[in-house]
């Protein structure tokens, strides 16, 4: 019997959790397989737990698990430490899935031999107002989010990362569990770690799901500044092999804007002219991207408002990245207060050899922190 574990970390998701679970319970799985759904709650204060508990009474496949730590890495690790099976999917409570999602992931894994399989994550507005549509437009264009194939699409084949993926359980025996020092970016670090160990991540664009982003531009930007961007810097500190230029470009952009605006009046030719040229180029690209998104989503307002939203997104994310680097430099980053991701690993990651961690290191990697 092939066993699938569906892991859904959540906290205060009363708006989405029922729809997410309903889509998951409709998954078509092979006749020789069985599925368990673990909803790992990080201390919800709304009606999330009650909603999950009610649905669990009607379907014994649903299991409500407590996660006192409150963050996703611990949620996923809790299930992986206690569950023995063949495949697991780490899904998001903000996301709805078609009924063939698991089937396509499993078939792709069998056909390609890939260790991790995912597809396209279509971003939907998180609310009914125009700000939610702005967030959708920002995060579905290459100018906004770079070359993430699972966000903007791409051809089938090996990639550096995918979201809401199917993992072979053996992956975690080879490279260890999620690094619980990372509240964000833990999935990207894990994917970098497994690629470094010689494992394969595969994207099949025929696989797709629908993700609901933040309902307001303010909430989206706050998440970028306080969580997403700083933890990119923290990830590089803990796992230098996870560095990628597309995550760093906003930091360079923010530093350039601050430096150029400050120094241009004092050095008009040496700094002012190049700074103005770069900003004109950025504005041109932002307007072109905005026009494309206005046509795509049939929102004429995007042409006027999206260029400013793109700038805010990139600048705020860049400031968050610089803040993260500053906290690392001053030894005030939260990841610097925890010396090892699991007992025996040391402050930095256990060195990875092609083919896995080796028996002794794998045992340490799967130990409880």
Question: What pLDDT is attached to residue 364?
Answer: 35
Please give the domain boundaries of the chain with CATH numbers for all domains: 2-127+148-213+343-365 (3.90.550.10)
Residue 365: per-residue pLDDT: 37
Secondary structure of the chain as H, E, C letters: CEEEEEEEEECCCCCCHHHHHHHHHCCCCCCCEEEEEEEEECCCCCCHHHHHHHHHHHCCCEEEEECCCCCHHHHHHHHHHHCCCCEEEECCCCEECCCCHHHHHHHHHHHHCCCEEEEEEEEECCCCCHHHHHHHHHCCCHHHHCCCHHHHCCCCEECCCCCCCEEECHHHHHHCCCCCCCCCCHHHHHHHHHHHCCCCEEEEEEEEEEEECCCCHHHHHHHHHHHHHHHHHHHHHHCHHHCCHHHHHHHHHHHHHHHHHHHCCCCHHHHHHHHHHHHHHHHHHHHHHHHHHHHHHCCCCHHHHHHHHHHHHHHHHHHHHHHHHHHHHCCCCHHHHCCCCCCCCCCCCCCCECCECCHHHHHHHCCCC
d(C-alpha 122, C-alpha 136), whole Å:
9
- CA–CA dist 118, 162 (Å, integer): 6
Query: In the chain, which residues have pLDDT < 70?
Result: 341-369
Q: What pLDDT sits at residue 85? A: 86
Joined together, the tokens standing for residue 250 give: 């906003």
Cα separation, 208 vs 206, in Å, equals 6
Distance from CA of residue 358 to its chain's centroid? 28
Q: Residues 342-351: contacts with CB within 8 Å, 24+ apart?
A: 342/176, 342/177, 342/366, 342/367, 342/368, 342/369, 343/367, 343/369, 348/238, 349/179, 349/193, 349/238, 349/239, 349/241, 350/176
Q: What is the pLDDT at residue 346?
A: 58
Q: Could you please report the per-residue DSSP string of 118-151?
A: EEEEEEE-SSSSHHHHHHHHHTTSHHHHTT-HHH
Q: How much is the pLDDT for 159?
A: 93
| pLDDT on residue 95 | 94
Task: Check if the beta carbon of residue 67 is closer than 8 Å to that of residue 13.
Answer: no
Other C-beta atoms closer than 10 Å to the C-beta of 347 total: 10
């Amino acid at each position: 019997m092939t066993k699938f574990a569906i892991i859904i970390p959540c906290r205060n998701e009363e708006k989405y959790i029922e729809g997410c679970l309903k889509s998951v319970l409709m998954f078509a799985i092979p006749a020789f397989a069985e599925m368990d759904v673990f909803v790992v709650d990080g201390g919800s204060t709304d009606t999330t737990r009650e909603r999950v508990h009610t649905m669990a009474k009607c379907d014994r496949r649903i299991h409500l698990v407590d996660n006192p730590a409150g963050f996703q890495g611990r949620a996923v690790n809790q299930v992986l430490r206690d569950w023995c099976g063949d495949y697991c999917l780490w899904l998001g409570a903000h996301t709805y899935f078609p009924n063939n999602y698991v089937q396509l992931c499993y078939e792709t894994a069998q056909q390609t031999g890939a260790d991790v399989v995912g597809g396209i994550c279509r971003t939907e507005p998180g609310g009914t107002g125009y700000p939610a549509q702005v967030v959708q437009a920002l995060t579905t264009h290459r100018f906004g989010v770079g070359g993430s194939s699972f966000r903007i699409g791409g051809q089938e084949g090996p990639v550096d990362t995918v979201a809401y993926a199917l993992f072979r359980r053996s992956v975690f025996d080879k490279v260890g569990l999620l690094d619980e020092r990372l509240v964000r970016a833990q999935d990207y670090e894990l994917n970098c770690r497994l690629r470094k160990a010689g494992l394969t991540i595969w994207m099949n664009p025929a696989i797709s799901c629908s993700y609901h982003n933040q309902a307001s531009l303010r909430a989206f930007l706050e998440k970028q500044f306080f969580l997403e961007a700083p933890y990119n810097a923290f990830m590089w500190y803990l796992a230098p092999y996870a560095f990628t230029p597309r995550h760093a470009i906003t930091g360079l952009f923010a530093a350039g804007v601050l430096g150029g605006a400050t120094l241009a009046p004092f050095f008009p030719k040496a700094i002012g002219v190049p700074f103005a040229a770069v900003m004109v180029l950025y504005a041109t690209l932002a307007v072109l991207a905005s026009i494309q998104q206005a046509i795509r989503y049939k929102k004429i307002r995007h042409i006027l408002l999206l260029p400013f939203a793109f700038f805010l997104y990139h600048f705020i994310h860049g400031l968050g990245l610089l803040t993260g680097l500053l906290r690392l430099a001053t030894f005030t980053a939260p990841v610097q207060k925890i010396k090892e991701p699991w007992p025996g690993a040391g402050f930095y990651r256990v060195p990875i050899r092609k083919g896995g961690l080796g028996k002794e290191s794998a045992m340490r990697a799967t130990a409880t922190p």
